[in-house]
Amino acid sequence: MSKVRVASFSLSIDGYGAGPHQDLKNPIGVGGMEMHAWALGTRTFQALHGGSGGETGVNDDFAAKSFANVGAWILGRNMFGPVRGSWRDNEWKGWWGPNPPYHTPVFVLTHHARASIPMEGGTTFHFVTDGIRAALDLAKEAAGGKDIRIGGGVATIRQYLEAGLVDDMHLAVTPVLLGTGEHLLSGIDLRGLGFTCTEHVCAPQAMHVVLTKGR
């Protein structure tokens, strides 16, 4: 059965999914990249970016599982790019260059319409102005029975959680203190939403926690 998943989402130990002052230089906010150290050296990450080698083990296992059986992605606008307001031009085509790591249809939440952008490797960015449920309906249709991955950022994941639309989450809790930024779970009652912790595994630079909603 198709699931709506959050996977390989890195958190600081004080609960932030992004640091302050997000911009072109700091796409995850100041200090945000430190939370992703666990993933950057993995074989999965290296392969996604055209490299070879990389570490195997627990971190790589979780990174690889996060891409398994994914048929479509949903992203918030900041996960696509730093542009705010109306699209000033069509030059910006995402953070990842001509061959993004998604390799599926990607539905970007925005208030401003834009034509779809086909990229190398099977990624096509579609821009959805009708809200989170419309994006999910489109993603489910495009996924063809595979899973839909909610890639972030924090505000987007919170919207899907609060609407009760997420089936499971894999969070990588990292030994990083951000102090401020975007807090992922503040005010969200995961127990009330039906989640339980079904797996937790220690690894270098991260504690991997899997939260699953009862069905």
Share above pLDDT 70 across residues of the chain, in percent, rounded to a whole number? 100
Amino acid letter for position 204: P
Query: CA nearest 110: which of 142, 155, 140?
Result: 155
CA distance 115 to 213: 35
Asked whether the predicted pLDDT for residue 56 surpasses 90, the reply is: yes
Mean pLDDT of the chain: 94
> What pLDDT shows up at residue 23?
85
Helices H / strands E in the chain, number of each: 6, 11
DSSP code at position 181: S
Indicate the burial class of 96 (C-beta count within 10 angstroms; 0-12, 13-18, 19 or more).
middle
Query: CA nearest 151: which of 23, 17, 45?
Result: 17
How many other β-carbons are positioned within 10 Å of the β-carbon of residue 186? 10
CA distance 14 to 154: 14
Q: Across-strand partners of 6?
A: 169
Domain 4-20+29-83+100-213, CATH class in plain words: alpha beta
Q: What is the pTM of this model?
A: 0.95
For the chain, the structural domain boundaries read 4-20+29-83+100-213
